[in-house]
Amino acid sequence: MVTAVITGASSGLGKEYINAIIAQYPSVDVFWLVARRKELLKEIAQEHPDKTIAAISLDLGKEESLQLFEQLLKENQPEIKVLVNNAGYGKACDFFSANRAAQTGMIDVNCRALTALTRLCLPYMLDDSLVVNVASIAAFAPTPRMSVYAATKSFVLAFSKALHEELRPRGIKVCAVCPGPMDTQFWEVAGATEGKSRLIDKLPRVDPTAVAVGSLRAAKRGKATYTKGLFYKFYHLLAKVLPHSFLMEFTEV
């Protein structure tokens, strides 16, 4: 059966991708929703009784979880139409005083797991299928006090652009999604809730529903990257033409 795989699917942008895929890909009958919080995944499954939804509780920062996912693929042989790599997190803090496990964990989830999931799923992907990798506007330039997070998202952006070219002959489209700040649980996990960062408080928010819908449409059209909103598209342009040393005077979180 035609399948969509979504990581980080229990809330926020990941949850919005479920509805967007249902609307744009009516042929998708099965959803593999991957996240740590299985109870939330089960609640989402109850909202879509007409779809077959597998609630897969995994911590993608751990190698054993990747091995379990690989085994699930081998046992079920899904026909994957859409892969959304949304799992990830950031931390807003000075690197020198930061928790080591949290900093290296960002690399494990944002980079290593995304790379592994993509490689594991590719043999099961159909012609004219999509890989959607969620990056961030932080990928455009280094971000002081979110140094590791920005670096991981730069990896996601570069990796996705290269795969976009590599997989074109196979009919698989790859798109890196680079949203600006959204009102999700991301900032609570990052430790940058309202009032703790003047930069984040001032930046315009983007709607996660619009990001999910728009990025899928862009990916289907063969776009390698997607950014929502003129403000953030202009920032992307500035990051291409201005020295990053100058931009970092304004991007510190």
* Catalytic sites, residue numbers: 149
- Joined tokens for residue 173: 């489209």
Instruction: Give the three-class secondary structure for 172.
Output: strand
Instruction: Give the three-class secondary structure for 113.
Output: helix
For the chain, helix (H) and strand (E) counts, in that order, are 11, 7
Rounded Cα distance between 63 and 42, Å, is: 24
Residue among 56, 73, 76 nearest 7 (CA): 56
Residue type, 118: T
- Joined tokens for residue 57: 């509780």
Strand partners, 7: 34
- The DSSP result for 122-161, as a single string, is GGGEEEEEEEEEE--GGGSS--TTSHHHHHHHHHHHHHHH
Instruction: Give the three-class secondary structure for 5.
Output: strand
Rounded Cα distance between 96 and 88, Å, is: 22
